[in-house]
Amino acid sequence: MMRHFDKTSIMEAESFFRRDFINCLSGYKSLNLIGTKSKSGQTNLSPFSQVFHIGATPPTVGILFRPHTVQRHTLENILETGVFTLNHVTQDFFKEAHQTAARYESSEFDAVGIEEEYLLEFYAPFVKPSPVKLGCRLIEHITLQVNDTVLVIGEIEHVWVDEKGLRKDGSLDLNALGTVTVSGLDEYHIGQKLARLSYPKPGKHLEEI
Amino acid sequence: MMRHFDKTSIMEAESFFRRDFINCLSGYKSLNLIGTKSKSGQTNLSPFSQVFHIGATPPTVGILFRPHTVQRHTLENILETGVFTLNHVTQDFFKEAHQTAARYESSEFDAVGIEEEYLLEFYAPFVKPSPVKLGCRLIEHITLQVNDTVLVIGEIEHVWVDEKGLRKDGSLDLNALGTVTVSGLDEYHIGQKLARLSYPKPGKHLEEI
Q: How far is it, in rounded angstroms, from Cα B59 to Cα B81?
A: 20
Homologous superfamily of domain range B28-190: Electron Transport, Fmn-binding Protein; Chain A (2.30.110.10)
Chain A residues within an 8 Å CB radius of B56:
15, 18-19, 21-23
Distance between CA atoms of B31 and B180, rounded to whole angstroms? 7
Whether residue A6 lies within 8 A of chain B, CB to CB, comes out as: yes
Point out the residues of chain B with pLDDT beneath 70. Answer: 68-71
A177 in contact with chain B, both atoms CB, cutoff 8 A: no
Q: What is the pLDDT of residues A159-208, one digit of tens each?
A: 999 999 999 999 999 999 999 999 999 999 999 999 999 999 998 999 99
- pLDDT bucket at A141, cuts 50 / 70 / 90: very high
Q: Closest Cα to residue B146, out of A165, A124, A50, A56?
A: A56
Quote the CA–CA distance of A128 and A133 in Å, as a whole number.
Answer: 9
Q: What average pLDDT does this structure show over A14-22?
A: 96
Cβ–Cβ of B13/A206 closer than 8 Å? no
Mean pLDDT for all residues in chain A: 95
**Which among A138, A167, A172 has a CA at the least distance from the CA of A36?**
A138
- The reported pLDDT for the residue numbered A148 is 85
**Are A54 and B62 within 8 A, CB to CB?**
no
- Measured between CA atoms, how close is A161 to chain B, in angstroms? 5
Q: Does A191 touch chain B (CB under 8 A)?
A: yes
A132 touches chain B (CB under 8 A): yes
- CA separation (Å) from B123 to A191, B104, B134? 35, 22, 12
Interface-testing mutation among A7, A16, A25, A160, with chain B (most B C-beta atoms within 10 A)? A25
CB contact at 8 A, A34 and A86: yes
CA-to-CA separations, B56 to A176, B53, B144, in angstroms, rounded: 34, 8, 24
pLDDT of residue B71: 53
CB contact under 8 A, A163 and B50: no
Written in H, E and C, the secondary structure of chain B is CEEEEEHHHHHHCCHHHHHHHHHHCCCCEECEEEEEECCCCCEEEEEECCEEEEEECCEEEEEEECCCCCCHHHHHHHHHHCEEEEEECECCCHHHHHHCCCCCCCCHHHHHCCCEECCCCCCCCEECCCCEEEEEEEEEEEECCCCCCEEEEEEEEEEEEEHHHECCCCCECHHHHCEEEEECCCEEEEEEEEEEECCCCCCCCCCEC
Q: Give the closest residue to B160 by CA, choosing from B91, B88, B100.
A: B88
In this complex, is the C-beta atom of A79 within 8 Å of any C-beta atom belonging to chain B?
no
Which phi and psi (to 5°) does residue B146 adopt?
-60, -40
A129 touches chain B (CB under 8 A): no
Given this model, what pLDDT does residue B70 score? 52
Question: Distance (Å) from the C-alpha of residue A4 to the closest C-alpha of chain B?
Answer: 5
Query: What is the structure's pLDDT at A70?
Result: 52
Query: Which residue of B87, B159, B169 to mutate against A (max A Cβ within 10 Å)?
Result: B159
CB distance B24–A163 less than 8 Å? no
Helices (H), A43-193: 72-81, 94-99, 108-112, 174-177
Fold classification of A29-188 is: Pnp Oxidase; Chain A (2.30.110)
Cβ contact B95–A186 (<8 Å): no
pLDDT at A71 over 90: no
Position A35 pLDDT exceeds 60: yes
Q: Which residues of B touch A133 (CB under 8 A)?
A: 2
Give yes or no for B68 touching A (CB within 8 A): no
Could you give the CA distance from residue A105 to residue A160 in angstroms, rounded to a whole number? 30
pLDDT for A147-156, tens place per residue?
888 999 999 9
Domain boundaries, chain A: 29-188
Helix H or strand E encompassing A24: helix A15-24
The region of weakest confidence among A50-59, A86-95, B121-130, B159-168 is: A50-59
Q: What is the mean pLDDT of the segment spanning A96-121?
A: 95
Q: Write the CB contacts of B190 (distance below 8 Å, at least 6 apart in sequence).
A: A191, A192, A194, B91, B175, B178, B179, B180, B181
